[in-house]
Amino acid sequence: MTGPCLCVDDPEIDEVINLDTGIISPARKVIGSDYDRLEKLRMELAEANASGESLYACPICMVGVYLSCRRKDEKRFFFKHRTENGNCPAITRSELSKDEMLARKYNAAKESRAHIRLKEIIADSLRCDPGFSEVETEKVWRGMDRTKWRKPDVQALWKGTIRIAFEIQLSTTFLHVIAERRNFYRQEGGLLCWIFKSFDQAEARMTQDDIFHNNNRNLFIAGEETLKASAADKALMLDCHWLEPQAVNGEVIDAWCEERVPFSHLQLDAAGQRVFFRDCDGLKAGLAHQAGEEALKQRFFIWWRNSKRSWQDAEWNEARQEFKKRGVFLPEYTYDVLGLLNGLYSAREGECIGWKHPNFISAANTVANSYKNVIRAFRAALLVYDRGDLLKREDKKGNWAKRVIEYKKKLAEGDKDYDRDEQYDPLIAFLFPEVWAVLSGDK
Ligand SMILES: [Zn+2]
């Protein structure tokens, strides 16, 4: 509905809290510009007031509000306290610090019906789980320093060893009100577990700097459904959402995932104040490491394919050092692994790599003729990279077919010339893990 906003320009109460949801909204937004809708809302508020209930309240003093109209002002509206005792800082304009205002709003949101219900849900779910004891709602948790305390929404003892504080995440408005709490629970040897009412990807990303990011990019939702599941499974069940890093075409992409999980499947990290199902940070580090390894292998391949492959090349010596760090032996002279690497790279690429032959079949014949101790690895590679058809197609004279019969006989006889040079096993496993998987099972 478009049109001019029906709120007065300078409302005394500039924000109201919906006592069902706990959501705090600007008065201008609740009043809006739809006159019909507003008249209905006005009636609802009046009826609720008459029955001693409130739909909306002032988030600073928690007194219920109703809609009033300034008739001389072309039917413009504003919220008024149900009882005007002159104490509300919103009216008296008394000096409340920004932090005090936020703390008041935070406490107001905690009194919403949705929040109260969620506390019950968490406590009831905890009582379903025999792993938890001493389930308490809104109980003071006093620090070792007796002057310091917190009152978590719900707390319970897990496996008789670690006390967990469950706090309901109300809205991103309050992030900094709650961020400091982690320190308190860390010092107490407890653990803080945030529970969200609902999941919103955009919201989750906004909280990334705080709860979400600091919690290994896992967040937990509880509600009527998880309560049912907790009762059925006799375990605290939570809906976990996490942002999982995945390798897609050489890039790391974050993807949202979700699963309903029992608390016993979560990892508890008291030092980091983290409770998580998937170790997203660990996965990301792993993927970054993997990407680095792939890049190293790719650089080495390109150098091997395109250069003259002198043992004196800086690239060769750098590769020898890098490979050595990974427990992979490269010889001093490139010639010593020429047959092995040319053969396996050719099989992998489906074309001749390293030799100046026109066809793949020539590379295969060269291996069979001149590098008998590479035959076993080469055969495994032909299988893994599925080069059977290519060989058949290119073997116009049938030379390869003859060689296969020949080397198969030698292999069957256990001819020592065909034994593979095992010092290069780590090299095969590193550069061609799929070939190694077959070869290492081959006797
Ligand atoms: Zn007020």
3-state secondary structure of 204: helix
Other CB atoms within a 10 A radius of the CB of residue 277 amount to 22
1's enclosing H/E stretch is none
Listed by start position, the domains of the chain span: 15-97, 112-278, 290-439
pLDDT at 198: 80
Give the architecture (CATH level 2) of 112-278: 3-Layer(aba) Sandwich (3.40)
pLDDT at 327: 95
Other CB atoms within a 10 A radius of the CB of residue 349 amount to 14
Residue 35 near residue 5 (C-beta atoms within 8 A): no
**pLDDT tens, 172-223?**
556 565 666 778 888 899 999 999 888 777 766 665 456 777 889 898 999 9
Residue 242 near residue 218 (C-beta atoms within 8 A): yes
Give residue 85 CA to ligand 1 midpoint distance, Å.
10
* DSSP secondary structure string for all residues of 306-347: HS---TT-HHHHHHHHHHHHTT----SSGGGGHHHHHHHHHH
Answer positive or negative: Cα dihedral of 223, 226, 231, 234: negative
Tokens found for residue 382: 């032909």
- List the Cα angle 270/274/280 in 5-degree steps: 135
Give residue 72 CA to ligand 1 midpoint distance, Å.
25
Tokens found for residue 349: 């690429």
Give residue 94 CA to ligand 1 midpoint distance, Å.
12
Give residue 7 CA to ligand 1 midpoint distance, Å.
18
Residue 77 near residue 70 (C-beta atoms within 8 A): yes
Give residue 75 CA to ligand 1 midpoint distance, Å.
23
pLDDT at 179: 63
pTM: 0.70
> DSSP secondary-structure letter at 25?
E
Give residue 91 CA to ligand 1 midpoint distance, Å.
7
pLDDT at 178: 61
360's enclosing H/E stretch is helix 360-370
Give residue 101 CA to ligand 1 midpoint distance, Å.
11
Give residue 81 CA to ligand 1 midpoint distance, Å.
6
Q: Which residues of the chain have pLDDT under 50?
A: 1, 208, 443
Give residue 141 CA to ligand 1 midpoint distance, Å.
30
